[in-house]
Amino acid sequence: MEVSFHHRVTQSFTELYSFDFKLIKLRETLCYSVVNEFI
């Protein structure tokens, strides 16, 4: 029981982290595009 709960928590953190990473990448890409438009 304990192990399966821990596994679920770990999985949630991993998914959250990877989602956050995608958002950061998306933001960087958008900023880069905007900067290139103005140059």
pLDDT of residue 1: 59
pLDDT of residue 28: 95
pLDDT of residue 24: 94
Average pLDDT per 10 consecutive residues for the chain, totaling 39 residues: 81 91 94 85
Cα gap 10→2, rounded to integer Å: 12
Q: Is the pTM of this model over 0.85?
A: no
Cα-based angle 19, 21, 26 (whole degrees, multiple of 5): 95
pLDDT of residue 26: 95
